[in-house]
Structure 1
Amino acid sequence: METGNILTAFTLTLFAGLAMGIGSIFSFMGKKTNHKFLASSLGFACGVMIYVAFIEIFPEARESLVESFGEEKGLWITVLSFFSGMIFMIFTEKFCLGNHGKEEKDCCHCCNNNSLYRMGVMTAIAIAIHNFPEGIAIFTSVLKDTTLGFSVALAIAIHNIAVGIAISAPIYYATGSRLRAFSFAILSGLLEPIGAIFGYILLRNYMSETFFGVLLSIVSGIMIYIALDELLPSAQKDGEHHIATYSMILGMGVMAISLIII
């Protein structure tokens, strides 16, 4: 393996991951008092999460698990892993984030801010988990074919811009801190190059289709739960129902185009 190819693969993977920072910057364009901008940002993020989970991640997980276990067993494992991701989020909210509920009753504004912040952090965690195998996918694509790898990296970078908005918008509106919102997006994005190097060097002899299939299916469940339980309800607050819906459709459209490019 040529050192130049490895360097190119790492550079393109880093580029795709850091694109989330661009999305983060876009999320700062509206004023914190602009509820319509917040509704549109969260609706857009919801569309991104739902489309990526159902159109990209879940089918990829199903394909890997069917290949490993056969049609019927593979589908069962995919579905069970998907709902395991949702159950994981339910228990996480109940036992790890449950104390917020008591504290938030005293102040509506505080309640809304805590909810938005929690939403952004949960989104960042889910995307970070997803970015780990995604980084390996970019890295290996470049090693196989530089031209193909560049196209894959560019397409993923485009959709990472949208994902950066999904992470940063709720955190920025909850805390008012651009630095904190930007940091969460960048740290999540850095899981792509880290995942690429870590996976290639340390786990290349142990990773399997089964491992990635189960992981990706769980992540898709987590993303759908966040979109439906956190992003969409928050986007529809303050009577901005149609703005949230239209923005959600726009988010799906942006993701559809970026995936077609791949």
Structure 2
Amino acid sequence: MDENVIFALLLTLFAGLATGIGSLLSLLTSRTNTKFLSVALGFSAGVMIYVSLVEIFVKAKDALVVELGATNGYWMTIVGFFGGMIFIAAIDRLLPKLGNPHEVKSVEDMDVEPSNAEYTKLMKMGVFTALAVGIHNFPEGIATFMSALQDPNLGIAIAIAVAIHNIPEGIAVAVPIYYATGSRKKAFKLSFLSGLAEPIGAFLAYLILMPYLNGVMFGVVFAAVAGIMVFVSLDGLLPAAKKYDEAHSSIYGVIAGMMVMAISLVLLA
């Protein structure tokens, strides 16, 4: 395993473990700064949308045009892009409907002594949310890994954006489990484990895709990565950012994320 692969895997591990950071924030603080959360989620969405459409999609198209020609290469890029969206949308549809996985509550918003019925409901919500987060993190791990493998600097930017949006997912997993069990340790453990789906997805991508990674395979996968990241941003990050919005803070976060990503791509070129 060469250094580039190890670096890409470590980036996905970093991004995935951000769910644990979210868990710690929810369990060690009494209130959540929702204004900051709105800006952070918007920033993450801005980074992911900009880099997907301006950088990743273009790299995928260039690779496929070289292999298949201008017209066929462009069409295959489009197929890969929307195929990635359909893939992540299908995962989203198949998951149990447990509300917004980015929904954040402060510890003061819930009863610290749930009844037996509430205990069961909260525990079920926490476990299924952890499952949902884990499944969602799987393709994100592939996206981060493939991006870092192609361009380490691009991989770092994507890993940071993914990590930011994994933080509220960790909160969503930890809070109901904590109030169901009264155990911070159990809540943190399950939240932490849900984030491990990201590096697992990356490692499976390495085992399955690497032997077949020619120009066409790279282009299609990279286009799908762009589609996945745009869908996650539009379906998850932006609605969650607007939920906690104050005075257009989420859109300012989006613009800031795009600007930072644009400047960093120029500086790293």
TM-score by length of 2: 0.67
SS at 2:248's partner residue? helix
- Structure 2 counterpart of 1:134, which letter? S
Say if 2:216 is the partner of 1:217.
no
* Contact 2:21/2:170 (<8 A) preserved: no
Per-residue Cα deviation, 1:64-120 (whole angstroms, up to 9, x for no partner): 1111111111111111221222233333333x036547xxxxxxx99xx89987885
Say if 2:50 is the partner of 1:43.
no
Q: Kindly state the Cα deviation for residue 35 of structure 1 after the two structures are TM-superposed.
A: 1.9
Question: Which segment is superposed worse, 167-176 or 64-73?
Answer: 167-176
Q: Equivalent residue for 1:128?
A: 141
Percent identity for Structure 1 against Structure 2: 30
Question: C-alpha separation between the residues in 1 aligned to 2:252 and 2:18?
Answer: 19
Question: C-alpha separation between the residues in 1 aligned to 2:16 and 2:88?
Answer: 26
In 2 relative to 1, CA 185–41 (structure 1 residues): closer, same or farther, beyond 3 Å? farther
Per-residue Cα deviation, 1:149-183 (whole angstroms, up to 9, x for no partner): xxx54663354233211223233245335554444
Give ranges in structure 1 of 5+ residues lacking alignment.
1-5, 102-108, 138-151
SS at 2:213's partner residue? coil
* Contact 1:132/1:192 (<8 A) preserved: yes
- 2:11 aligned residue (16, 34, 37): 16
- Structure 1 counterpart of 2:252, which letter? Y
* Contact 1:168/1:184 (<8 A) preserved: no
Say if 2:225 is the partner of 1:227.
no
Say if 2:198 is the partner of 1:188.
yes
* Contact 1:15/1:157 (<8 A) preserved: no
Q: Kindly state the Cα deviation for residue 20 of structure 1 after the two structures are TM-superposed.
A: 2.5
Q: Equivalent residue for 1:90?
A: 89
* Contact 2:134/2:195 (<8 A) preserved: no
Question: C-alpha separation between the residues in 1 aligned to 2:233 and 2:56?
Answer: 15
Question: C-alpha separation between the residues in 2 aligned to 1:16 and 1:185?
Answer: 13
* Contact 2:173/2:191 (<8 A) preserved: no
Question: C-alpha separation between the residues in 1 aligned to 2:257 and 2:21?
Answer: 14
In 2 relative to 1, CA 197–79 (structure 1 residues): closer, same or farther, beyond 3 Å? closer
In 2 relative to 1, CA 50–135 (structure 1 residues): closer, same or farther, beyond 3 Å? closer
In 2 relative to 1, CA 254–181 (structure 1 residues): closer, same or farther, beyond 3 Å? farther
Q: Equivalent residue for 2:68?
A: 69
* Contact 1:44/1:250 (<8 A) preserved: yes
In 2 relative to 1, CA 257–197 (structure 1 residues): closer, same or farther, beyond 3 Å? farther
- Structure 1 counterpart of 2:261, which letter? M
* Contact 1:135/1:195 (<8 A) preserved: no
In 2 relative to 1, CA 217–35 (structure 1 residues): closer, same or farther, beyond 3 Å? same
SS at 1:236's partner residue? helix
- Structure 2 counterpart of 1:43, which letter? G
Question: C-alpha separation between the residues in 2 aligned to 1:162 and 1:25?
Answer: 16
* Contact 1:20/1:164 (<8 A) preserved: yes
Question: C-alpha separation between the residues in 1 aligned to 2:45 and 2:39?
Answer: 10
- 5 Å-filtered alignment, 1:170-189, equals 170-176=169-175, 177-189=187-199
Per-residue Cα deviation, 1:129-153 (whole angstroms, up to 9, x for no partner): 213433543xxxxxxxxxxxxxx54
Please report the RMSD computed on the Cα atoms of aligned residues, expressed in angstroms: 3.7
In 2 relative to 1, CA 161–240 (structure 1 residues): closer, same or farther, beyond 3 Å? same
- Structure 2 counterpart of 1:219, which letter? V
Question: C-alpha separation between the residues in 2 aligned to 1:70 and 1:223?
Answer: 26
Q: Equivalent residue for 2:106?
A: none
* Contact 2:15/2:163 (<8 A) preserved: yes
TM-score by length of 1: 0.68
Question: C-alpha separation between the residues in 2 aligned to 1:193 and 1:92?
Answer: 20
Per-residue Cα deviation, 1:188-238 (whole angstroms, up to 9, x for no partner): 2465566557655xx0xx321111111121221121112112211121014
- Structure 2 counterpart of 1:167, which letter? N
Which runs of 4 or more aligned residues in structure 1 lie more than 6 Å from their structure 2 counterparts after TM superposition?
113-119
